[in-house]
Amino acid sequence: AQKITQTQPGMFVQEKEAVTLDCTYDTSDQSYGLFWYKQPSSGEMIFLIYQGSYDEQNATEGRYSLNFQKARKSANLVISASQLGDSAMYFCAMREGSGGSNYKLTFGKGTLLTVNP
């Protein structure tokens, strides 16, 4: 079974609208972390937001927020007020367990977001 599932290969959104990118995960660990990265067409990987499994509040970073539903094992990324520069591939990733030996990220296959003017 896939540990990280991103069911939307591609998404379109109008400029200035909000968009939600889906991510579900599979783990039996109680301690884990969830990350979202952005990869523009230039290829670099840009960290956006992090949510720890014990964090009680949803993470927010500027226009990015993470809709964390632990019981449903989902960690959706919400981008508010989309901009043309948000057009990129978005990856959800998970770190399972705690401690240095668990320094491993598992990535989903990504969602390609296109923002239309």
Partner 1 sequence: NAGVTQTPKFQVLKTGQSMTLQCAQDMNHEYMSWYRQDPGMGLRLIHYSVGAGITDQGEVPNGYNVSRSTTEDFPLRLLSAAPSQTSVYFCASSPTYNNEQYFGPGTRLTVT
Q: Does 41 bind partner 1 (CB under 8 A)?
A: no
Answer for which of 28, 43, 57, 85 binds partner 1 (CB under 8 A) is 43
Closest residue by Cα to residue 107 from 89, 115, 99, 95: 95
Q: Which region among 21-29, 65-73, 76-84, 96-104 touches partner 1 (by CB under 8 A)?
A: 96-104
Closest residue by Cα to residue 99 from 42, 32, 20, 4: 32
Q: Does 62 bind partner 1 (CB under 8 A)?
A: no
Q: Does 100 bind partner 1 (CB under 8 A)?
A: yes
Residue 42 or residue 57: which is nearer to partner 1 going by CB? 42
Applying CB under 8 A, the residues found at the interface with partner 1 are 4, 33, 35, 37, 43-45, 47, 50, 52, 91, 93, 95, 98-110
